Structure 1
Amino acid sequence: MKIGIIFGGPSREREISFAGGRTVYDNLDKSLFEAIPVFVDSLGNFILLDWHYIYKGTIRDFYPPIESLPQSVHQLQIYIESLGELSTAEQDSIINRVGKRILPHQFKAYFDFAFLALHGPYGEDGSIQGLLEWYRMPYSGSGILPSAIGIDKILQKDYMHQHGFAVPRYRIVPAAEWANTSQQPILFEQLTRDLGLPLVLKAPHQGSSIGVSIIKTADFKVFEEAMARSFFAKTIYREAWENYSPEEKLSLVKQLTDIREGIGLPVRSDNGVIIHHPEQLLEVLNGVFRNDPREAITLTNIESEPYVLLESFIQGKEFSCIVIQDPNGNPLALPPTEIIKGGEVFDYRSKYLPGLSRKITPINLPHEQIQHIRQECSRLFVACGFNVYARLDGFITEEGQVFLNDPNTTSGMLPSSFFFHQAAEIGLNPSQFLTYIIRTSLVERLKSGKDTAHLLKQLHQLDAAIQNEKTANQEKIRVGVIMGGYSSERHISVESGRNIYEKLASSVKYQPIPIFLTGSAAEHRLYVMPINIMLKDNADDIKEKIAQAEAGHLHHPVLEQIREEAGFITEKYAGKMVREPQLITYENLKNLVDAVFIALHGRPGEDGALQAELENYRIPYNGSGIQSSRITINKYETNEILRQNNIKVADHLMAYKKDWLTSKEAFFQNIEKAFNYPIIAKPADDGCSSAVKKIKNRRELAAFSKLIFRETEDLMTEPVAVLSLGFKEEFPQKEAFLVETLISKEDGTHFLEVTGGLLTRYLPNGEVAYEVFEASEALAVGEVLSLEEKFLAGEGQNITPARYAPDPQQRQKISDKVKADLKKVAKVLNIEGYARIDAFVRIKENTEVETIVIEVNSLPGMTPATCIFHQTALNGYKPYDFIDRILTYGMERNEKQTAAV
């Protein structure tokens, strides 16, 4: 069956929709389905997308394509709406660079079923559902009416009140009422009197906590800003603007035009001018305050909300619950998840970045209250007429009262989302759960009475294919996917490991086995994980669940009841559910798997220690061998070896804790004698971007030293503030760190940061051949690239291939030189399998190219959004193909080593 995955769209959640569409594309069972990517741009065009674009980090990385972008002083990435009014012919010209426009009446020529991964307006409001019904295309999830109810938070309040659900006190403020500025303070007094404090403000037609604020005190200024946030408006004041530096003005414009946390584009100024492009906005603001006596300018998104919804704050535990429709058409509430937030609001970043919030499943409550939540969620599922599945969010108070506040007919579909997280509790992996959703959706569409003969035929064919897959005796290669670890990159490692597991689980060749590594350098502890533990939110949650299992506290009566209720689903789609994590030795591992995929980052994993254990038992593995790994984990040693081989690296020295303890003044002077500020400070033996900081003065150097040389695990407040560490940003403890010169443009005409991937294979004569991919240009929002920018969906901005020069032939010439330099690095360091090499490229007036190597990652991140997949796609490898090549090389190397012995 051909499944058209419809993703992207016009909403503010388009990046999460894009990432979710990629998850579905990769996880569909390849023995049952053929995935067809249908990208919807923000103008509403349906595009049959060339498959390799689905592996870009963000929509702006490929659409609109670079060739279609206007000249930009600041080289800002934009969405297509920033190009202004475009004719159909102009839109077609842009579309044809990434795929092919298809019209709704043509859908049936390309796919048999539409899997909807759209979010927010146009995707969850009945619009796309109605379009598909008109053209007789079966689709996933709820129908038109329940979708329209699910998107409208104001309608929901009335609807829930009528059906006897607990609803907090609320008030609706129309935009016209708020426009009366003289009455705003009076309105605020009324609202705080009637609804109390704290006060919750919501944009009523958005999802993912976009446009949501909580007001805790009777501060009108804060309230005014929150109302503007929900109306997607912002007032810029002359005094503040004129005090900003050029960099601060540009930063503010970037924040303003962010579709998730800003007001987005296009915007209308209060004098009626419509602004499409962020640089146009910068020019308008500069011009207004230069040529106009006004003291402020107000900008409002042209698709602003007509109302703001205000509610009384509910004090209680916050939860989210996926409800699915069982084969009999009845609602089955999966175990509700408790959300423990880092901030007041479970906002966009908290939802989608691992480690910023915690998900506890089931919610930590008495069993009767958990069941009460499930009953209320099931009751609302029926009351709203939801079909197939829904995500219901809410709160439970200390008194046990349940408030359901945000029914969603589409859930986020990132690998660790509630959608897959809770399905795993009944034993379904993402591939199996997607199959269930597709089949259940077909059954639901049959109930409409439309096109029943065709739908019945599809359903019977799918059932036969599911049965054939279940009975087929396929000998698959067993791959142990090792993830986790105990470094500051353990959460990213889990993201990488899950991605590898899911790519292999949907294949016809491999059977992945998820393995969590914890412990210490002195003792590795390996656990085979059930699917529900593997899909916990992050590495620390997984470790906690394993500890509970070892203490005999993993069994939960409510979970057992839900699993019993869902037993017939699990049996049909997954077989017998594995319940407990199992501690194994490396000797056990030898008998359990045919090969290992190491998805660890930093230590352990990239340091040769794990490789030595695996080689001891002749277990094939991915990546470089022991000696090469031991070198590349050490940035100082790597740089020394590269320099000896005439490869450019930064000047560097090691800064030791023992010297710092002896005399801090002498310690600082030694560094300052060797380097001028700013400098780069980073751990010498950890993974990429972990505690990498640009140090601009001694105060920052002292703060960095205090943190990295600290005796206790907890971070100290003062140095954290000095270095402006992000929320929950981790900082390792070390006995030494590396200091490097800050690599800069110097005498170059063009200067950029790149990251380049490579792959190895054996030639018939037994030699190793290197395939170096087109490097990606990395754009950092801050002073250095963060972990989130490198690996998490919607965060990083990478342009592949890198923009070395405007002229295509000149660009390729420079690219070939950079690739040759990276290949030399790989050969010198004896890198095998695959790797990622980070570097700066300095291009000079005479077209001389300097590649300055920053670091080498022998086990690069393999999260769904990492740019190595953008690069491999250009060479024709889908992520699965790339992973397959990596595993094949590891198994062939093992055969050669065994034969040699």
Structure 2
Amino acid sequence: MTDRGLLKIVLICGGPSFERGVSINSARSILDHLQLFDVQISSLYVDTNKRFYRLDLHHLYSNTPEDFDYLLSLDDGLSVAELQTELKTCDLVYPLIHGIYGEDGELQSLLEAYNIPFIGSSSGSCARMFCKWSATQYLKQLAFETWPCTLLDLKNPSEQITQFLSKYGKVILKPTLGGSSLGVHVATCEHSAHTAIHSITKKYGHSILLEAYCKGSEFTVIVMDHSKGPVALLPTEVELKSSELFDYRHKYLPSEQTHLHCPPRYPAQTVNTIQEEAEQLFKAFDMRDYARLDGWVVEGKIYWTDINPISGMEQNSFFFIQASRLGLSHSEALAYVMNHALSRYSLPSLMLKSCPEKIKVPVLMGGRTVERQVSLMSGANVVFKLHASCQYEAVPYFLDEQDKVWPLNAIHLVSHTTQEINHLFAKQHQIRIGIATSILTLRRRLGLRDIELTEIVPITQPISLNDFCRKIRRSDNALVFIALHGGMGENGYLQNLLNHYAIKHNGSGPQASQLAMDKYAFGLAVNRFQIPKLSALPKLKVETRARPASYWSYITSILSATEIILKPQSEGCSFDIYMCSSEREFDSVLEEKPNQIFIAERYIQVDSLYAIDKQIVHEVFEGWFELTVVVWESSGEYEVMPPSITIAKNKILSEEEKFQGGTGINLTPPPPHLISLNQRKMIQDSVKILAQKCRFKDYCRIDLFFNHLTNDMVIIEANTLPALTASTVLYHQMLGGKIKRNPREMLEACINKQISAEFVGD
């Protein structure tokens, strides 16, 4: 215990596996939800060489470890003695390393050697679970059904591959020592199988499991420990609509191609059997506290394939999805697991912070734009962040594709997509019945109080957007936090509507929002402002209908370019953006999007930047970098945050790299050898002038190209309601501002401004 009597919790994340990005996501999520308790939290990071570092908590809001790995290269890390001292001063360690080192028992063995209390299974238990081949053999000994598989003979694999292909037609190859999503390949012939082998051995460097391809239904189930025995929660069924594998991308990036069903669409007896067998496996492997077990249902039979001693703990992970079906919030579910571990070491349970009555703040998310999935991520993240606030209680609402507004609760907020939310609304009666059969039993087995089913699955109906505004107007604080992206959320429509009802809101007013959303008009405005060294590229409107002959030649001639970027005139910043270097590519885009109005502009080739072994490798082409700059406005005063330099794997920054934790790399601020301190100040000063002239309010994000050789700046676009997803660069930069605000503090400050201000229309 600390001097103040607080429990000291240490999160250990990172690790040598390719899942270290997911590990950062898990640690960040745990950090958010522990804010509700009287605890002292610190973090240790393990690099790819298994070296420990003290990690500032703000680094947990990074997209990837590469965001800060280059900073760690300046530090030697903790010595063995320093690590032991660091661990000895904590009350409880939460291991959050996925894959090798975190789940194979090695980290747990170190903690056991130091006699450090920790959450999760012992080193011996983890070792038995982690190797897929060994775990399968143990499952067979226990008389559980296992899917046909064999350990591949890497010296002479052809015979085994031919045998499996002839028998099953299609095979799966995956590393035996790895997570459940990375390095998994489908092969339909011997050539593709050998290609997969080469890819796996090159990247993972260890043995390979060869499996028959499964055409059944995939599921996953969380098991939570209790003093009277383990309790398996309601399983989640994974429905893939257009893919052969539930791979890393489908698991961690919201996609309409994946639908998660909880409860699953299985017969009651199948669900009961999954739960019973999961609990038996939890005991057989001598697990502790919690675990995630994956398997398949094939023709009524249950096959177990993966046992994960450390479940992913992202905001909408399987753990939190299944906990929500019990009526448990993220903090409550997390506290349950942690308190079970604390009791094992005779330590006191977590204590909630004492908070006064909170002010309710409606948060609106969803919509019908192509950015609706990002909006869901943003809105849910705002709700989760504010859950730990002692000032505000976020009340979530969902705007559907018919512009109807629905109230949301916990089971909606852990959904991966807006389609899943729509499904929950459409099937709310059936889902209530599916949960009702087991919810009371499960809660009692876990020692939880009985609750009404309406607290978990309320039967709700939507209201019109105007009725929603009237409802908010009648509340004590007429305020809406907008978490929409694109469309009516950023083009001024919603801002005008809220102004009509005298409802305060975050972000800019109608005129500034409309200007920023229209990329053509915004480009003209930027050039009209005549800010030194700052401009926008010449742009052409491209009509997809009735386009003239030689359209490509005309556009490239006017723009003096051989490669052009096509982007929607009035849409978000990451969708439907195309780079065209030929007439064929250009025509293909216009035919694919017949109703879209595009803006064409010259493609700018940025310098090549790579993050390799904690070092930033820079190859100069023309001197251009892509930067993101966050602006914070309060009472007419503007602060421009230290910029972030973005590193894209391909020519255009992808949706994953921009919004999904564990993918894109953003260096905040850029290292001085890339952009000097004087250049950084010049960028911030110029962006400040731009934000003032545009009358942006609260906060915004401005993307631009900067030439480090000439100091020229080319504005890409401005976002008046930038994404507030779990690891957005907005959070990185706010933590680097004059007043360092963590994400919750930033959201509170934004709401404070609205609460305290008199209503003023645009």
State the TM-score, normalized to the length of structure 1: 0.77
- The answer on 1:13 being equivalent to 2:16 is no
- The match for 1:481 is 363
Contact 1:333 1:378 in 2 (8 A): no
* Among candidates 221, 229, 235, match of residue 329 of structure 1: 229
- The match for 1:420 is 320
Q: Could you tell me which runs of 5 or more consecutive residues in structure 2 were left unpaired when the two chains were aligned.
A: 1-6, 608-619
Question: Would the alpha carbon gap of residues 559 and 688 (structure 1) be closer, same or farther in structure 2, given more than 3 Å must change?
Answer: farther
Deviation sequence 1:433-453 (CA, Å, 0-9, x none) = 11111102223xx2xxxxxxx
Question: Would the alpha carbon gap of residues 341 and 593 (structure 1) be closer, same or farther in structure 2, given more than 3 Å must change?
Answer: farther
- The match for 2:670 is 802
* Among candidates 613, 632, 636, match of residue 516 of structure 2: 632
Question: Would the alpha carbon gap of residues 39 and 395 (structure 1) be closer, same or farther in structure 2, given more than 3 Å must change?
Answer: same
State how 1:612-761 maps to structure 2 within 5 Å. Answer: 612-647=496-531, 648-657=535-544, 660-661=545-546, 663-665=547-549, 667-668=551-552, 670-675=554-559, 676-709=561-594, 733-734=595-596, 736-743=597-604, 750-761=623-634
* Among candidates 399, 406, 413, match of residue 517 of structure 1: 399
Question: Would the alpha carbon gap of residues 190 and 546 (structure 1) be closer, same or farther in structure 2, given more than 3 Å must change?
Answer: closer
Q: CA deviation at 1:105?
A: 2.3
Question: Would the alpha carbon gap of residues 29 and 877 (structure 1) be closer, same or farther in structure 2, given more than 3 Å must change?
Answer: closer
Question: Would the alpha carbon gap of residues 160 and 850 (structure 1) be closer, same or farther in structure 2, given more than 3 Å must change?
Answer: same
- The answer on 1:203 being equivalent to 2:82 is no
* Among candidates 126, 139, 148, match of residue 160 of structure 1: 139
Q: CA deviation at 1:393?
A: 0.6
- The answer on 1:885 being equivalent to 2:749 is yes
Deviates more, 1:865-874 or 1:570-579: 570-579
Matches of 1:574 and 1:131, distance apart in 2: 41
| Secondary structure at the counterpart of residue 115 of structure 1 | strand
* Among candidates 728, 731, 741, match of residue 866 of structure 1: 728
Matches of 2:493 and 2:76, distance apart in 1: 49
Matches of 1:706 and 1:597, distance apart in 2: 38
Q: CA deviation at 1:678?
A: 0.9
- The match for 1:544 is 423
State how 1:473-622 maps to structure 2 within 5 Å. Answer: 474-520=356-402, 524-549=403-428, 552-566=429-443, 577-580=455-458, 581-584=460-463, 585-591=468-474, 594=477, 595-622=479-506
- The match for 1:237 is none
Q: CA deviation at 1:204?
A: 1.1
- The match for 1:46 is 52
Q: CA deviation at 1:669?
A: 5.3
Q: CA deviation at 1:335?
A: 3.2
Matches of 2:142 and 2:586, distance apart in 1: 61
The AA in structure 1 aligned to 2:513 is S
Q: CA deviation at 1:35?
A: 2.0
Contact 2:164 2:212 in 1 (8 A): no
State how 1:123-142 maps to structure 2 within 5 Å. Answer: 123-142=102-121
The AA in structure 1 aligned to 2:527 is R
Contact 2:62 2:661 in 1 (8 A): no
Question: Would the alpha carbon gap of residues 315 and 475 (structure 1) be closer, same or farther in structure 2, given more than 3 Å must change?
Answer: same
- The answer on 1:188 being equivalent to 2:161 is yes
Q: Could you tell me which runs of 5 or more consecutive residues in structure 1 were left unpaired when the two chains were aligned.
A: 69-92, 234-262, 264-300, 447-454, 710-732, 763-767
Matches of 2:190 and 2:527, distance apart in 1: 60
Larger radius of gyration: 1
Matches of 1:137 and 1:316, distance apart in 2: 42
Contact 1:336 1:373 in 2 (8 A): no
Q: CA deviation at 1:536?
A: 1.0
State how 1:269-288 maps to structure 2 within 5 Å. Answer: none
Deviation sequence 1:259-284 (CA, Å, 0-9, x none) = xxxx1xxxxxxxxxxxxxxxxxxxxx
Q: CA deviation at 1:557?
A: 2.9
Matches of 1:514 and 1:419, distance apart in 2: 21
- The answer on 1:226 being equivalent to 2:196 is yes
Question: Would the alpha carbon gap of residues 42 and 138 (structure 1) be closer, same or farther in structure 2, given more than 3 Å must change?
Answer: same
Instruction: List structure 1 runs of 4+ shifted beyond 4 angstroms.
Output: 99-102, 190-193, 567-576, 666-670, 744-749, 803-806
Contact 1:367 1:558 in 2 (8 A): no
Q: CA deviation at 1:424?
A: 1.3
- The answer on 1:828 being equivalent to 2:693 is yes
* Among candidates 128, 134, 140, match of residue 149 of structure 1: 128
Q: CA deviation at 1:673?
A: 4.1
Contact 2:440 2:450 in 1 (8 A): no
Deviation sequence 1:731-788 (CA, Å, 0-9, x none) = xx42x221122245799963211110011112xxxxx101101111112212211221
The AA in structure 2 aligned to 1:380 is L
Contact 1:748 1:842 in 2 (8 A): no
Q: CA deviation at 1:383?
A: 2.0
Matches of 2:606 and 2:663, distance apart in 1: 25
Q: CA deviation at 1:572?
A: 5.9
Q: CA RMSD in A?
A: 2.7
Contact 1:839 1:851 in 2 (8 A): yes
- The answer on 1:404 being equivalent to 2:374 is no
The AA in structure 2 aligned to 1:486 is R
Question: Would the alpha carbon gap of residues 587 and 326 (structure 1) be closer, same or farther in structure 2, given more than 3 Å must change?
Answer: farther
State how 1:47-196 maps to structure 2 within 5 Å. Answer: 47-65=53-71, 68=73, 93-95=74-76, 103-108=82-87, 110-174=89-153, 178-179=154-155, 183-192=156-165, 196=168
- The answer on 1:770 being equivalent to 2:657 is no
Deviation sequence 1:665-715 (CA, Å, 0-9, x none) = 165454344223211111010010211111212212211211221xxxxxx
Aligned identity (percent) is: 28
| Secondary structure at the counterpart of residue 311 of structure 2 | coil
- The answer on 1:362 being equivalent to 2:263 is yes
